[in-house]
Amino acid sequence: MSEEKKKLLELRAQIDAIDDQVLALLNKRASHVLEIGHIKKQDNRQFLVLEREESIYQRLVTLNQGPFPSSAIRPIFREIMSASLSLEKTLQIACLGPEATFSHIAAIQQFGQAVNFTFTRGVPDIFDEVERGRADYGVVPIENSTEGVVNLTLDMFIESPLQICSEVMLAISQCLLSTELKLDDIKVVYSHPQPIAQCYNWLAKNMPHADIKETFSTAIAAQMAKTEPGSAAIASEFAAKAHEVPILRHRIEDNAQNYTRFWIIGRQSPGRTGSDKTSIMFSIKDGVGALHEILKPFSTHAINMTKIESRPFRKKPWEYIFFIDIEGHQQDPPIRCAIDEVGASAQFMKVLGSYPRSDRMLP
């Protein structure tokens, strides 16, 4: 036996021994999780503590000295925590369906795969599932870097009691799925309106002959492309694998830097993590400089406002609801003071939630 082969066998044996230790430690960790779950149940405490999860990710990334990549820590420990928590209770997560939509992918990024999914046909159904207690959390799209804000999601918060619990930034890459072998043989392309808009120029250049038809989701489009001759779908690589549809073209989105932001909604916002964001909605009395005046408290208390959107107030014609994102947690004294001052001047105000920032772009 050569020295190289002998060395290879020794290294593999050492890796096997390390894997055995990792497995033993995972089971030890799971036993502690079960014990914590028992204490929570006795004290009637919240089952999933999102700020605790975030602190674990941040601590491990800070401690990591390599060569193991820090970018892999979050997805690996997400699945470890997901599997461990399922020993206490299996979470029920509502998201747009069917399987393999981008909302489904975002849900997996947040909660791992050791959960149960409720697939819905629309954003209002997700809110309904969580409000009625049939789901622990919901995953809703809020904005795309190309197409902008998802107005329906904002509108739902006007009357919903739900809170934002977290956010996920998901890199979006679109593929053309079809059982056909040539673009010229495709007569119709199916997809959700947003992916269609994200691939508008590519479609105009490469498939001007095809009809473009909208569906409720990219996953439904993938299912149609699988069964209907002469058709194609714009969907993700994940959808292609899940529904077993060949990919005819990869990365057909017009903008390579294409991201969608999702909100995780639930009945209670998490506590502070030290790197948080707060979302607020309010309406104001019409008047010269009214918006400028009501936003002054954020400047006075040195609070950075990262986003502002306006929507017509459906109950009062010609009045508007403003949605803003600010850096910080509502438990922070400056944020609390600013919110109180805005609330004193606004006709209507509601804090939608404070939650961990998602500065990372998830794969």
Select the more confidently predicted residue: 305 or 318: 305
Query: What average pLDDT does this structure show over 218-227?
Result: 93
Phi/psi for 132 (5° steps) reads -85, 0
pLDDT tens profile 94-115: 999 888 899 999 999 999 999 9
Q: C-alpha distances in angstroms, 47 versus 38, 39, 146, 286, 319? A: 10, 10, 36, 44, 40
Select the more confidently predicted residue: 357 or 231: 231
Within the chain, all domains assigned CATH 3.40.190.10 are found at: 92-172+259-265, 175-249
What is the CB-side half-sphere exposure of residue 41 using CA atoms within 13 A? 8
Q: For residue 187, what are its two tokens? A: 């007569």
pTM of the full structure: 0.85
Task: Using CB atoms within 10 Å of the CB of residue 56, give its burial: 0 to 12 exposed, 13 to 18 middle, 19+ buried.
Answer: middle
Look at residue 256 in the predicted model and tell me its pLDDT: 84
Domain 92-172+259-265 carries which CATH code? Answer: 3.40.190.10
Q: Say whether domain 175-249 belongs to CATH 3.40.190.10.
A: yes
Task: Using CB atoms within 10 Å of the CB of residue 97, give its burial: 0 to 12 exposed, 13 to 18 middle, 19+ buried.
Answer: buried
Within the chain, all domains assigned CATH 3.30.70.260 are found at: 272-356
Within the chain, all domains assigned CATH 1.20.59.10 are found at: 3-85
The alpha carbon dihedral of 174, 180, 184, 186 has a sign of negative
Query: What average pLDDT does this structure show over 145-155?
Result: 87
Beta strand 175-177 with 231-235: parallel, antiparallel or unpaired?
antiparallel
Look at residue 361 in the predicted model and tell me its pLDDT: 38
What does the alpha-carbon distance between residue 330 and residue 355 come to, in Å, rounded to a whole number?
9
Query: Per-residue pLDDT for 27 more than 60?
Result: yes
Per-residue confidence band for 46, with pLDDT thresholds at 50, 70 and 90 = confident
Per-residue confidence band for 362, with pLDDT thresholds at 50, 70 and 90 = very low
What does the alpha-carbon distance between residue 63 and residue 292 come to, in Å, rounded to a whole number?
44
CATH superfamily of 3-85: Chorismate mutase (1.20.59.10)
Residue 353's contacts (CB-CB under 8 Å, 6 or more residues apart) are 163, 164, 165, 269, 278, 279
Which region among 57-61, 243-247, 314-318 has the lowest average model confidence (pLDDT)? 314-318
Which region among 93-107, 155-169, 280-294 has the lowest average model confidence (pLDDT)? 280-294
Q: Say whether domain 272-356 belongs to CATH 3.90.780.10.
A: no
Q: C-alpha distances in angstroms, 303 versus 1, 142, 309? A: 68, 22, 17
